[in-house]
Amino acid sequence: MNKLIHLFLFRVLLTSFIYLFPFTRDHLLLKDGGVVALDWRWDGRKALGCFTSAPPVLLLIPQSWGGMSPHLKLLSLQATRQGFYVVVFHHRGTAGTPLTTARLTEFGDPADLEQAVSYVHSRHLSSVLVAVSEGSGSGVLLSYLGEHGSSTYLTAAAAISPVLLGQLWFEAAMPPALFCSSAKLHRGLSPSPEDEAAVPVLCICSRDDPVLTPASTLPLSLFLNNPYFLLVLTDRGGHCGFTLEGREEMDDGIWKFPQGLL
């Protein structure tokens, strides 16, 4: 009961903070007529450890079905306190974004994120740009990093509870009749696109994640053979629940990773 009360109070306080520090929204028109939303927030603080006058930009990528979870909201508040300019990328047709095309953002298709990253970079040419994805939002982030390699505008990235073996995850989580086998989807579900990433990528996973495939199926060869990929594997944390579990050391790890690159 005490845990439920604490969780309720946490949500109330979190909602109050979000209200006090609201986002400013931009709608970005894409090349095919689609629209994604970018929510911006910065409180004017100088980032700790940043030696440039331009604040670093943190691009947050929610789950593929959209909306900001309590975990991501807390992460945005922590980033703001650390002096980051926070930008939240909202997929087509999610979080109040108008759906102007006959399709949503497909899992693993980085085209929308590519245009969003270019737009954010154009607005902050002198800023370091890093990205953090949550859950299935890793599909577009890792595909983007794999396709762009060293030419990406991102300096570093982190994926919280990422989908690293998308095809295995989809096949295990969906009835066969609902599993899509299109070529484009398989490109995003394959673990191979991120092999070409050429910036540091921190993946944070938990053994007790109830959503993803078992930790025993993690592609450890990716982390052993690719010098850019780093893995943090915890015993507890659930699915994207690290920030709500009171693990200050995990929060410190998330922020020390990009700050070390500023």
> Looking at the annotation, which residues are catalytic?
209, 239
Q: Which distant-in-sequence residues (6+ apart) come within 8 Å of 86 by Cβ?
A: 40, 41, 42, 57, 58, 60, 76, 79, 80
CA-CA distance, 211 to 259, in Å (whole number)? Answer: 30
Name every residue whose Cβ is closer than 8 Å to that of residue 75 and which is 6 or more positions away in sequence: 60, 132, 243, 254
Buried b / exposed e across 154-175, counting CB within 10 Å, b at 16+?
A: bbbbbbbbbbbbbbbbbeeeee
C-alpha 172: how far from chain center: 23
Residue 251, Cα to own-chain centre: how many angstroms?
15
Rounded to 5°, angle at Cα 142 from 106 and 149:
120
d(CA 41, CA 75): 12
Label residue 24 left, alpha or beta by phi (over 0 means left) and psi (-120 to 50 means alpha): beta
